[in-house]
Amino acid sequence: MNATDRIPFGATGLLMSRLGIGGGSLASAAGEGGVKAVVDAAWQAGLRYFDTAAYYAGGESERRLGLALQGRPRDAYVLGTKTGRYLPPDCTDRFDYSAAGTEATIRTALARLHTGRLDIVFIHDVQPSLHGTDYEAQHALALKGAFPVLQRLKAQGVIGAIGVAMRDPVPILRLLREAPFDAVMLAGACTLLHQEACEALLPHCVATGTPVLFAAPFETGILATGARPGARYRYKPAPADLLARTAAIEAACTRHGVPIAAAAIHFPLLCPAVKGVVVGHQAPAELAANMALLAAEPPAALWSDLRAEGLITAIPA
């Protein structure tokens, strides 16, 4: 499996790199020069999907990615961003799925990214864990406010495809059943530590031909580093129970001669609906390492052993 493989992305007409460049932790940790270094290395390697969001680094991700991509042939790469979630200077999450807010976000994204079109735009993080008692109202606003604006911009050629992006598979599936979204970005719920998306969302995407990009295959650290002291899980120190389970998974991987990071990056790709993985590389060396991981495909026996040992509850299919 090559990281640079260009995979047809469902019915969107887009060709996605098997490995995508995520603009979240990249922009936050690497700074402007680091973003350019990673984008330059990705381009030289042949990778052509770049992902960002209005939320990442308070909009700096879009701006820095736009600068790093300037001067490259626009038809040679796929560019995606997200709307609806924002990080103002006071670092307090703000959500706006209204028509006016969505329109403004797209105008800003086009300017920051120095482009006349966005290949895919995802409505970002419409999930109960973030909205609490306001979830139903926000869900309705995403469908009645943001989605029609994106449909109109798609008809005008400003947007190529419309997706939904978040961690929780349940509200993703609800949105897919209520509006004709083109694609999904799933951040979690189909990793070596969590397989909830295998229950309903991924089978639905396979059945309907809805393409999926998978983000955060390493759970922000622990599935890349293994169960070492100080391992990070979803941006925080990993709790003891997850360290123990990760250690057991790592031991199984070792028996098959597979680094746990290779197993982690390949696991979501077992589902035919998942066309690529998006990773927030922070340096060219990380990019090279992840490309090598994709080239090292684990044996099928690893997945069946993990299932038999009760270390995973499902295998994506």
Q: Across residues 108-112, what is the average pLDDT?
A: 98
Q: Is 56 a catalytic residue?
A: yes
Would you place residue 153 in the very low, low, confident or very high pLDDT band (cuts 50, 70, 90)? very high
**pLDDT of amino acid 30:** 65
Tell me the per-residue pLDDT of 160-192, one tens digit each, with 9 for 90 and over. Answer: 999 999 999 999 999 999 999 999 999 999 999
Single out the catalytic residue among 56, 86, 97, 233: 56
**pLDDT of amino acid 235:** 87
**pLDDT of amino acid 24:** 86
Q: Is the pLDDT of residue 294 over 70?
A: yes
Q: Is the pLDDT of residue 25 over 80?
A: no
Q: Which residue has the tokens 């993990």?
A: 306
